[in-house]
Amino acid sequence: MHLLGIDLSKEYFDVTLLNAQGEKSQGHFDNTPSGFSQLVKWLKAAGVVELRACMEATNIYWEALAQDLYEQGYTVHVVNPARIKGHAMSQLRRSKTDKLDSDVLADFCRSRTELRVWTPPLPEERQLRNLVRQREDLLPMTTQQKNRLTDSRDQQVRARWQRLIATFATEIEELEKQITAPIADHPALLKTYELLKSIKGFGPITVAILMAEMPDLAEYEDAAAAAADAGVTPAHYDSGDTVHRKPKMSKIGKASIRGALFFPALTAMRFNPIIRTFAERLK
């Protein structure tokens, strides 16, 4: 079994390959389909048959390569960057380069056998995520234009901002209509959608965001694991007999999920008796 650590950026990626004897070789490739083909040839030339590849969930730069490696029959692990940073700190790494980062990823992969195996999303799940993220991109742009409209007194400028705001509003409305289309076309997704939508406090857009950003929702061992992935679990800080800080939300997880849950949580605390009781106990 070979291990591959991959450090990705928008334009290229560096890799560190470890064989069963711990011997190391490194490579540098373009983050393009031709670069993926060169990587596969490089791996085969090194005698790789079985491979565990480990990469960070950095923006969206990793997705195409992960898909390609999966289609080649290799095992792919996509890891939270915070875990890799912690692993590097535990080794007292004082320098940071792309080659060194790929080396850290390979070593992390070697030291962890329990990593979750990544599987590509369904086409419907990918379409849902693209629609949800496009909507999420338009929301702050709309807010930005509204703020500019408030600050401006020039009527021509204000008219231009108003046209932009109206355009964004139309696009957001269209996206919200389209978001449920990939869900309705897939029975399993539709079942998940109806289950989540039955929770008091969850509207259709919140449910769509959860399904888009947590497509593997059914694979979590329990609710605590899902909460940890969203970064909403408490972080305690106690030391000795004297230091007892107030617990805070860990925020080590998917910020998009925390953002999507904020207002539904406020609604649920008022109208969902189960959540209201839970919130009072926490308070």
What is the per-residue pLDDT across 218-237, written as a single tens digit (0 to 9) for each? 777 788 888 888 888 888 87
Could you give the residue ranges of the DSSP H alpha helices within the chain? 33-45, 63-71, 81-90, 98-111, 123-151, 155-179, 181-184, 187-197, 204-213, 223-230, 255-271, 273-282
Q: What is the mean pLDDT of residues 95-112?
A: 81
The answer to whether residue 82 scores a pLDDT higher than 90 is no
Distance, in Å, from the CA atom of 93 to the CA atom of 104, rounded to the nearest integer, reads 9
The answer to whether residue 9 scores a pLDDT higher than 90 is no
| pLDDT for the residue 95 | 67
Task: Answer for the pair 43, 17: CB distance below 8 angstroms, yes or no.
Answer: yes
Check whether domain 2-111 has CATH 3.30.420.40, yes or no:
yes
For the segment 196-224, what is each residue's pLDDT rounded down to a tens digit?
999 888 889 999 999 888 877 777 778 88
The answer to whether residue 189 scores a pLDDT higher than 80 is yes
| pLDDT for the residue 236 | 80
pLDDT band at 181 (very low <50, low <70, confident <90, very high): confident
The answer to whether residue 118 scores a pLDDT higher than 90 is no
The answer to whether residue 93 scores a pLDDT higher than 80 is no
Task: Answer for the pair 173, 210: CB distance below 8 angstroms, yes or no.
Answer: no
Q: What is the mean pLDDT of residues 103-117?
A: 84
pLDDT band at 92 (very low <50, low <70, confident <90, very high): low
Q: How confident is the prediction for the chain on average, in pLDDT? A: 86
| pLDDT for the residue 104 | 84
pLDDT band at 182 (very low <50, low <70, confident <90, very high): confident
Q: What percent of the chain has pLDDT over 70?
A: 99
The neighbouring-strand residues paired with 79 are 56
Three-class DSSP labels, 32-58: CHHHHHHHHHHHHHCCCCCEEEEEECC
Q: What is the mean pLDDT of residues 120-144?
A: 89
Strand order in the sheet with 2-8: 24-30, 12-18, 2-8, 51-56, 75-79
User: What does the DSSP 8-state code read for residue 200?
Assistant: T
Distance, in Å, from the CA atom of 201 to the CA atom of 25, rounded to the nearest integer, reads 52
